[in-house]
Chains A and B, each alone.
Chain A
Amino acid sequence: MSSDKQEGSLTLKQRFDRWMIKHGRVLVVGIPYFWLFLFFLVPFLIVLKISFSVAEYAQPPYTPLFEWIDEGITVTLNFGNYLFLLSDSLYVTAYLNSIRIAAISTVITLLIGYPMAYGIARAQGSMRSVLLMLVILPFWTSFLIRVYAWIGILDREGLINAFLMWTGIISEPLIMRQTEFAVYVGIVYTYLPFMILPLYSTLEKMDVSLVEAALDLGCKPWQAFAKITLPLSMPGILAGSLLVFIPAVGEFVIPELLGGPNTLMIGRTLWNEFFANRDWPIASSVAIAMLLFLVVPIMWFQHIQTKQEEGQQ
């Protein structure tokens, strides 16, 4: 009775607060997980399901996976799509090409991004936030518009050619658009901030006196960089590289708009299967296979990260 009375004397707000203290954590973690489940895992399962069916001229354009036959469920799994991916060299080539282009772009992004991140991390306090702002600034414009802008720059009649012809350095316009070069330019340009930001956060945390200590013990500046700064910024290099590499593998817009007809990347192949061939099962299996390609490096990355964090404690 007495406890009832006590409960009864609590205001609604007090009860809510108590409930929040008890269950708040579950709520905070639960909502985003529910969101991810609903809008990430469920669509993924649908795609997974489609990848095991056969294309059909119907609505939807694939055979059902589960069928009611004689009061029971029959599951027809069709692995043909995956076998087809392996047998047709187009897909293997597209995968390998994507990985190659993404890898080269990542290295170029790293080579450009590292000095920038280092410069920002070592800049004066007030200057630092301005420089960071400048790195993030392009995000305020639509990605698509920025890629279109590159068409204007790289085109036969684009800015660069016009300028070079005007100065007389070249007499014939350079062919830059619709080449792999243009794809590299596009990817490096687009993903540079994703490289700079994690690198910046690792470099900024690094104690400057570590480099001074290395100099003090006889290292020339470049040796101090190689022996101290570089190994200590490895987590940032890894994070940045994966943030660039993973989306670059599946990139569709950049090769589509800047690349030539020969720039074969998996994102484009996927698009073609879905919208040109209307072969949803093949398209789905391409997507699933790509995901597997990407899941492995992500897991590896997380594994390394947790190990590193354990090491720092």
Chain B
Amino acid sequence: MSEAVLERVHEDVHKTQPWNNPDAVPYIRFENVTKKFGDFYAVDDVSLDIYRHELFALLGGSGCGKTTLLRMLAGFEEPTSGKIYIDGVDMAGVPAYERPTNMMFQSYALFPHMSVEQNVAFGLVQDGVSRSEIKELVAEMLGLVQMSKFAKRKPHQLSGGQRQRVALARSLIKRPKVLLLDEPLGALDKKLREQTQFELVNIQEKVGTTFVMVTHDQEEAMTMASRIAVMNEGVINQTGTPFELYEYPNSRYTANFLGQVNLIEGLLVDDDEKYAVIKSDEAGCEIYIDHAVQGHEGMTFWVALRPERLRITKEAPKETKYNCVSGKVEEIGYLGGISTYHVRLESGKRIKVTEPNSTRQIEPRYTWEDTVWVSWEAGAASVLNK
């Protein structure tokens, strides 16, 4: 990935996005934060800036340290070393009950012996807010999450989606500076999850609170977040907008984690200022890249190709010197809107291609064991060195 390409992306978004503005002051700041449990590094020297009004997602598999990071922000865990600032205030030694954060728990953690109303009012009662004011605020908040009708119910009388709304209302009612969401939609089924994603974003825009969210679901993170930090083994792999992460991953891990990708290993054989060529035995062809690659000739690189950027044809393309491989169709997945093909190359490498079914077909275009050609534009590939 060249600097020039990144800059082009940045230019478009520079003004609206504080993380690209060198003068913007971060609202939440992790400074070399490490958390050890025994000998295990749950979070390893993480530095991260989150800006006001962001909906920031910490994305990663289980055990990657994302939840620990969130819990340190909430005050349930103290960092082993490093500092955490919220709105400029050092959070070291500040107990959870004095932090300007509220958390929405993965299990929702609704108090089972209290009604919806009492659950939502809990934080205000704790702060000694007057009864009339509590009543007003609770009614308003229940209206926001569309739960007014269920105010008198107990949590066990609610469905999963309703509990999620109550949990959200309860954590928002104290107007925290930062709302922490631990797998906020994890307990919902797929349909409800998709619907709730947008609702959550709308509510975030309405209340203007900074949201920090933990999720293992890349689709959820992509749909909702302004920026995502991809975590692995206690370290942040890459931080960026969904667009940046998908189009310009910095590593095989990120490329693999967000969406689907074909990774082709090869050696750099020609590196120019304007282009580069990578020779891949795995693909059995030379790959032409339309930008310079930072490295020396003979170095190993991985070319990341998204399945939807690949073309699949029965006849060989006119130009077969670069970016073109042939193989046999091994598997076909017809998903209605798109079809996916697994093509086995001569080297044994499998390439996944997806193709939109934009017109109605009388019969499938390709069938098993068909010999096909897979090709791509010079600009479709990302080159990764780790």
Contact = CB atoms under 8 A, between A and B. Distances in A.
Interface of A: 207, 209-210, 212-220, 223, 228, 231-232, 311-313
Contacts, number: 62
A228 B97 CA distance: 15
Interface string B139-173: 00000000000000010100000000000001100
Interface stretch (B84-92, B99-107, B292-300, B307-315): B99-107
Interface stretch (B26-34, B121-129, B368-376): B121-129
Contact of B109 (A207, A223, A311, A313): A207
A292 B74 CA distance: 54
Given A207-B107, A210-B109, A212-B105, A217 B95 contact: no
B112 A217 contact: no
Interface of B: 74-76, 95-97, 101-103, 105-107, 109, 111-113, 122-123, 126-127, 154, 156, 170-171, 174
B105 A217 contact: no
B105 to A, nearest CB: 5
Given A228-B111, A232-B112, A312-B156, A217 B101 contact: no
Given A223-B126, A231-B113, A232-B112, A216 B97 contact: yes
B126 A213 contact: no
20 contacts: A209-B105, A210-B112, A212-B74, A212-B96, A212-B109, A213-B103, A213-B105, A214-B111, A216-B74, A216-B76, A216-B101, A216-B102, A217-B122, A217-B123, A217-B126, A217-B171, A218-B127, A218-B174, A228-B111, A231-B113
Chain A interface, >50% SS class: helix
A312 B112 CA distance: 8
A229 B76 CA distance: 17
A281 to B, nearest CB: 49
Contact of B156 (A219, A228, A313): A313
Nearest to A313: B156
Contacts of B96: 212, 215-216
Contact of A215 (B95, B106, B112): B95
A219 B74 CA distance: 14
Contacts of B74: 212, 216
A218 B109 contact: no
A312 B101 CA distance: 30
Contacts of A312: 112, 156
Given A218-B123, A219-B126, A213 B101 contact: no
* Nearest 4 A/B pairs, CB to CB: A217-B123, A213-B109, A218-B126, A209-B109
A210 B170 CA distance: 13
B107 A209 contact: yes
A313 B156 CA distance: 7
Most interface-central of A207, A214, A216 (chain B CB within 10 A): A216
Nearest to A208: B109
B119 to A, nearest CB: 9
Contacts of B103: 212-213, 216
Contact of B76 (A212, A219, A311, A313): A212
A214 B113 contact: no
B211 to A, nearest CB: 15
A84 to B, nearest CB: 47
Contacts of A311: 154, 156
A212 B122 CA distance: 13
A311 B154 CA distance: 9
Contacts of B109: 207, 209-210, 212-213
A226 to B, nearest CB: 12
B170 A217 contact: yes
Contact of B122 (A207, A214, A231): A214
B102 A217 contact: yes
Contacts of A219: 97, 126
Contact of B97 (A210, A218, A231): A218
B101 A210 contact: no
A218 B124 CA distance: 9
Nearest to A215: B96
A218 to B, nearest CB: 4
Nearest to A223: B126
B102 A210 contact: no
Contacts of A218: 97, 123, 126-127, 174
Contact of A232 (B75, B107, B113): B113
B130 to A, nearest CB: 16
Given A217-B170, A223-B126, 7 more contacts: A210-B109, A212-B76, A212-B105, A212-B109, A216-B101, A219-B97, A311-B154
A28 to B, nearest CB: 31
